[in-house]
Structure 1
């Protein structure tokens, strides 16, 4: 068994992006279906329908200054609210950098590749995400492979530390 040692300073360093589940994966009582439509400038209208949106979970993300999520997608729809700091959200489909701040909310329709980041050099960003139609088990975030991640970074002008 290997023991991994770290200094006190390393142990106190925050993760670039920390995810804190605020709930377990819960199921609604009875059958629940959901329909959400979204029209964002530069993208076709999206209509999201879940015949079975029975599982939900809520996660708080704390994003350190300059941190960028890997390109990824989700198996369900994600409703996001920004509670602190600046937040930028980018769909791979159009590479448009959409800017949000405290009190703003956005919809990630699910099954769409995207990234998000904290553009600040000094302040944390905190977002709370409600995942609708989350699977009862398994991954909530599905990253793209490293090659596609690098290609999307180049195409959309994303710079990572």
Structure 2
């Protein structure tokens, strides 16, 4: 009979497998299902790129559904906190009054963040209604948005 000696790594793996097998048979407590509770998924989206979201002095959370008809727009504005948006249906074109006058387009299922003092205008340039779900995180006592004038340094037409 040949005797095999396990390396340190082999002993650790063997111990972990044995522990997992023991716990599986021992009936480890699992989460309990909800009782008398209903959860409805309203929308779901995915950021195109990962985000590290950090906001100071947030006290208020507001959720809204925004519908923009074809050819409609949000008007130029900024937000005092942060807004997480998910396009539920349609497509939105976000025009930013930054130094590069950037234009971004988001379609159904896309999520994006609006943070900071750069004015923007969300436009529905399609022939279909646009529905966007918004979650605002903002300091107490501030409005959801501040109106701004259209930027003079950008030509979005």
Asked whether the 8 Å contact 2:80–2:142 carries over to 1, the reply is no
CA distance in 1, matches of 2:56, 2:151: 35
Q: Which runs of 5+ in 1 are unaligned?
A: 1-38, 40-45
Give the TM-score normalised by structure 1: 0.59
Q: CA deviation at 1:136?
A: 2.9
CA distance in 2, matches of 1:128, 1:109: 16
Aligned-residue CA RMSD (Å): 2.5
Aligned to 2:147: 143
Give the TM-score normalised by structure 2: 0.61
Which structure 2 residues correspond to residues 38-53 of structure 1 after superposition, within 5 A? 49-53=54-58
Asked whether the 8 Å contact 1:76–1:111 carries over to 2, the reply is no
Larger Rg: 1 or 2?
2
CA distance in 1, matches of 2:152, 2:67: 26
- What secondary structure is seen at the aligned counterpart in 2 of 1:151? coil
Give 1 or 2: higher strand fraction: 1
Q: CA deviation at 1:157?
A: 1.5
Aligned to 1:66: 71
Moved over 4 A (4+): none
How many residue pairs align between the two structures?
109
CA distance in 2, matches of 1:143, 1:75: 11
Q: CA deviation at 1:138?
A: 4.1
CA distance in 1, matches of 2:60, 2:93: 27
Q: CA deviation at 1:52?
A: 2.0
Aligned to 2:156: 157
